[in-house]
């Protein structure tokens, strides 16, 4: 295992471990097979403000797993994604803080609902699925 891979895995585990104390009473996630994960792709954070267009986290047509943590929110977040089975585009509205995992067929966007004084702070990890 290279040093860069080890550093990325340590970063992912730190991010997921840090989310544990902030996990709400109910956590929603899709069930997926971790053996299907092909590679780490990216991780990051951001702030989405109400009234703004959706922030693109994943684009393209390849399959991905998105691990999303919403740390702080004074409004709802609307998530746009496309299921792996090739069905119609999906939307999910998230209320407050949460940790969720999504399998997506290359599209994942986040939008804060409400006015421009409201915001959603989030972190994410994107993992590419094997073809």
pTM across the whole model: 0.73
Quote the pLDDT of residue 11. Answer: 67
User: What is the rounded CA–CA span in Å between residue 67 and residue 40?
Assistant: 12
Name the pLDDT band for 14 (thresholds 50, 70, 90). Answer: low
Name the pLDDT band for 76 (thresholds 50, 70, 90). Answer: very high
Tens digit of each residue's pLDDT (9 = 90 or more) over 28-53? 555 667 778 888 888 999 999 998 99
How does the average pLDDT of the chain come out, rounded?
83
Residue 111 pLDDT > 90, yes or no?
yes
Q: For residue 71, which phi and psi values (nearest 5 degrees)?
A: -85, -40
Q: Which domains does the chain have, with CATH numbers?
A: 3-129 (2.60.120)
Terminus-to-terminus CA distance in the chain, angstroms?
Answer: 22
Quote the pLDDT of residue 17. Answer: 61
- Sheet containing strand 55-58, strands side by side: 55-58, 108-112, 77-82, 89-94
Residue 34: name the closest of 101, 82, 81 by CA.
101
């Amino acid at each position: 295992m290279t040093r860069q891979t080890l550093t990325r895995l340590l970063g992912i585990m730190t991010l997921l471990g840090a989310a544990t104390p902030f996990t709400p009473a109910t956590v929603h996630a899709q069930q997926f097979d971790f053996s299907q994960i092909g590679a780490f792709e990216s991780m990051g954070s951001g702030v989405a403000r109400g009234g703004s267009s959706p922030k693109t986290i994943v684009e393209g047509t390849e399959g991905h797993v998105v691990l999303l943590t919403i740390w702080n929110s004074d409004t709802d977040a609307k998530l746009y994604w496309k299921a792996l089975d090739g069905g119609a585009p999906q939307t999910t509205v998230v209320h407050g803080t949460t940790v969720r995992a999504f399998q997506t067929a290359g599209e994942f966007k986040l939008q804060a609902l409400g006015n421009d004084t409201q915001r959603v702070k989030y972190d994410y990890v994107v993992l590419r699925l094997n073809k």
